[in-house]
Amino acid sequence: MPIAASIKKDNSVAGDRTSTDFSQREFPMLSKDFKVIQEVALAETGISLSHHKQEMIYGRIVRRVRALNLANFTEYCTYLQKNLNAELMDFTNAITTNLTYFFREPHHFEYLKDTVIPKIKSNKLNNKKLRIWSAGCSTGEEPYSLAITLKEAGWPAGWDVKILATDLDTNVVAHGKAGQYKKERFEGMDKGVQKKWFSHSINKDENGRESQLLTVEPSLQNMILFRKLNLLQQWPMKGKFDVIFCRNVVIYFSKDTQRVLFDRFADILNPNGFLFIGHSESLNRVTERFETLGRTVYRKKD
């Protein structure tokens, strides 16, 4: 069942207030407008927007108000409600945050390499199939970091290895699929790893300014399938996964949404499958279907 059909509305987002007066801005936003944005975001994406995020949301949605040549947020909210199917993609792309980098939270990749990979290798010698899901992959740094980790760990030839990378934002999915990144995104990455798995090129913008681009090696791209996916809706995947990375995603969800989502993750994981979540996230009082292995790494219970 899709999460949207089973969660309760989280009314906590209406509990706090801000002194900022958005009614006096160039494109006025009233409290009733923000409430509409909250409700649509929660119902369609599971994202719970508290009132202290009004400034951020104003700055992001005002681009849509301008693009649609509307006078204020009230007109935008009316447009959003009447044209939900047509506007939902742009609305979602506007409100989602996509800050990430290669090998974010490096202890997760170390644990994957040193503990998870050897265990899967020894337990799956018969079918020799590995499936990993990067849920909320943003611009692709996480799934490519997973692919590099597998390669660096010397994953044996002859195995059927696939990484599914999904995100709600169509723009970042396209970015990840293209596999091109500016040099500054590689700060902190080992130079040897960077040289081994990325090729360098020079890019010129429309003003003639040059910047360095690094492009992912095709062998890594071939391991990854990028797809747009709303975690609240039906999942098209048929088979099960050995590992799921869903990091820094559920912090935007209500507890009710988290409970349903983690239950679905447990359902789609193989027995004793592994779940990695963000450093500020926890399964405490959310689900009892996983056991903690420390540092936001979990294993599905039998």
Give catalytic residue positions. 60, 167
Q: Which tokens is 243 given?
A: 């590992």
Could you tell me the CA-to-CA distances from 190 to 88, 153, 165, 251, 261 in Å, in that order? 39, 15, 23, 30, 35
- Structural contact between residues 150 and 193, judged by C-beta atoms closer than 8 angstroms: no
Tell me how far CA of residue 195 lies from CA of 107, 110, 113, 198, 248, in angstroms.
22, 20, 20, 6, 28
Cα-Cα-Cα-Cα dihedral sign, residues 286, 165, 149, 107: negative
CB atoms within 10 A of CB 127: 8
290 closest CA partner among 277, 279, 32, 278? 277
